Amino acid sequence: MPYDYTTVTAESVRSETDAALGDADALVEGVVAASASPTFEATLGALELAGAAIARGYGRGAFLGQCHPDAAVRDAGIEAEQRLSTWRVALVFRRDVYEAVRAFAETGAAAALAGEEARLLAHWLRDFRRAGHELDDHAREELERHRTRLVELEVAFGRNLNDYTDAIEVTRDELEGLPDDYIDRLSPGSRDGTYRVTLDYPQLNPFLDQAHDRDRRGELFRKHWNRAVTQNRPLLEEALRLRHRIAELLGHPTWAHHAMEVKMARAPERVRAFYEGLLPRLGARVRSELDVLAEQMHARGHDGPVTAWDWRYEHEAKRRTEYGLNQNEIAEYFPLGAVMEGMFELTGDVLGLDYREVPDARAWHPDVRLYEIIDRASGEHLAHFFADWHPREGKFGHAAAFPLEIGHRDAEGARVPPVSAILANFTPPSTDRPALLKHAEVETLFHEFGHILHMSLSRAAHSRFSGGETEWDFVEAPSQIMEHWTWQPAILQRFARHWRTGEPIPTQLVERMRQARWLDAGIHIGVQAFYGQIDLAIHAEPEVGDIDAALRRAYAVTGMPYPEGTFMLSGFGHLLGGYDAGYYGYLWAEVIGDDMFGRFAREGVVSPDIGAEYRREILEPNGTRDADDLVRAFLGREPSQDEFLRLRGMA
């Protein structure tokens, strides 16, 4: 069974963190002590076990900073995350550890390594080089100091976002366009007869999609794009300066060159080539889509161009008027429990898995569920995962999958099965109905479950290559591919049933949803490209320039006027959450995910044969081979943008 989270306290978080650090330190000291006669197990094997201990400490302590209902536990978790992250950063700066690994690298045993073990040695030597061990003492000390400070900035930035609260207060008339069940879940405002609409996604997104009041949409959007700006802008600016200096110390022209060395792209030039192949085909599509939305908006008496707080509303209005689609009515066919069952049935059949809910989850909140994943052919227990679906005060505000125990082999060679968790903020149940998911939330559920499968099915022997530990610009592809199954009529009709009547979702409704799927796809892609372009703009240049000017230049790809008076980077948690010089990876991975799904589309959308190959070539190897090699093995060729563009009508 996984860890018993019902016993967690702030003190237990600290003690679990102490224990993890103590275990890891003991293993590392053993590495140093064995340097006179190094072996693989005494050096790299021990370092990997130390990494697994730190990951376990994260799962039992630091992770709870993202989700525990007790603020004191969350605070202890944030503190624990900083301690563990600092340890990870410091490890590769230790000269004695470097020398121990270097001593092993010079042995005949090291020269004879092959496969995952040879890759492991190469990665550790790369880590030590990136930590400055080829620099002089003064430069190396400066590098370590900057790296440690970056960890502090990243933790503070994330904590500011998690703790930040803001809202608008609206009258009942200003909520026109929104369904009653949405309004019923809102808290009262400070004035009689008003309602409080917060920046939490279950409140923010429906308001931007459906509220008729354009001015209030604009007000809420601007608040969203200014989250924690006072606290986080100076942290981001300091982080950018430190990253620039770190890259300079290591001989890289920019931070992006340094960061992408360990990614699938390898260098920003390949990313620019990716955008150059995509964006020229986007411009005309974006302009034509915005023209249609503007005509629709002007017909209702609104002036000016379509803005960031207009396009989603106009998109939703167009879905209703042209295709007869209402996301609230569609949601009535997607009760959460049925969607889970359908997802389990699909992935079970395609990938050869069975699932079992564990009756007593022993989780951090009574609403959290625990599931076991079992190999269908052998009956082998593969993994556990927790599911925490609905928003709470202080909880992580997006949707994401977290590793709580990394799958690996222990010191005796026995497999330690992985444990992971999904945190999401889906529309919660009400007193008279179950949790009903918008179709976009169904996509999100399948997407995040793709991460769970990637973590759970990994067969890597070492923690370095397990979990989601593949290149960060590929790690989203096994999740992007999952989204396509949520649009297949035969699959939806297995589980999409009206929560009151039990009637399956009508075929005609699914067809209209599919026809409207890529409606305004150009704008959607443009917005994603904006995020990737601004990330490149601040990380792929030799100097940190005018960030506000860079925001305006990057935003031009959306075709909409820049939202003046905002600084969205203060709430862009990815930039200090591991996706720096890597946000392009979402669109990059989506292109690869589409290309991989093309095999299912051509050869059998629920084919267990293709599923077995996908599991064998993509999910199970995880980080044990380069992502380029994995994709080539599954596709039989280099990845292409063709399927992505074809699906969206831009081929």
Q: What is the pTM of this model?
A: 0.87
Active-site annotation holder among 448, 476, 483, 643: 448
- 467 pLDDT exceeds 80? no
- Please choose, from the candidates 468, 473, 442, the residue with its C-alpha nearest in 3D space to the C-alpha of residue 457: 468
In sequence order, what are the residues at sequence separation of 6 or more whose Cβ sits closer than 8 angstroms to the Cβ of residue 116?
460, 461, 462, 465, 624
- Please choose, from the candidates 295, 651, 327, 650, the residue with its C-alpha nearest in 3D space to the C-alpha of residue 512: 327
Residue 372 token pair:
């076991």
- E strand residue ranges, 68-193: 167-171, 187-188
Neighbours of 39 (CB within 10 A): 14
Q: How confident is the model at residue 623 (pLDDT cuts 50, 70, 90)?
A: very high
- Please choose, from the candidates 302, 257, 331, the residue with its C-alpha nearest in 3D space to the C-alpha of residue 540: 257
Which of the two residues, 243 and 472, has the higher pLDDT score?
243
The rounded distance, in Å, linking the Cα atoms of 462 and 46 is 10
Domains and CATH numbers, the chain: 1-92+94-130 (1.20.1050.40), 136-163+247-324+518-651 (1.10.1370.10), 167-227 (no CATH), 331-465 (3.40.390.10)
Q: In this predicted model, what pLDDT tens digit does every residue of 277-294 receive, in sequence order?
A: 999 988 899 999 999 999
- Please choose, from the candidates 617, 573, 341, the residue with its C-alpha nearest in 3D space to the C-alpha of residue 477: 617
Average pLDDT over residues 601-609: 96
- 502 pLDDT exceeds 90? yes
pLDDT above 70 coverage of the chain, percent:
100
Task: Give me the sheet containing 353-358, strands edge to edge.
Answer: 353-358, 369-375, 381-388, 419-423, 400-405
448 has catalytic annotation:
yes
- Please choose, from the candidates 90, 159, 100, 92, the residue with its C-alpha nearest in 3D space to the C-alpha of residue 126: 92
Average pLDDT over residues 536-561: 93
Rg (CA), the chain: 25
The rounded distance, in Å, linking the Cα atoms of 267 and 598 is 27
- Partnered with residue 168 across adjacent β-strands are 197
Provide the CA 87 distance to its chain's centre, in angstroms: 23
Q: In this predicted model, what pLDDT tens digit does every residue of 210-223 receive, in sequence order?
A: 999 999 999 999 99
pLDDT for 527 equals 96
Q: In this predicted model, what pLDDT tens digit does every residue of 225-268 receive, in sequence order?
A: 999 999 999 999 999 999 999 999 999 999 999 999 999 999 99
CB 85 within 8 A of CB 152: no
Q: How confident is the model at residue 427 (pLDDT cuts 50, 70, 90)?
A: confident
CB 417 within 8 A of CB 423: no
CB 522 within 8 A of CB 306: no
pLDDT for 651 equals 72
pLDDT for 580 equals 93
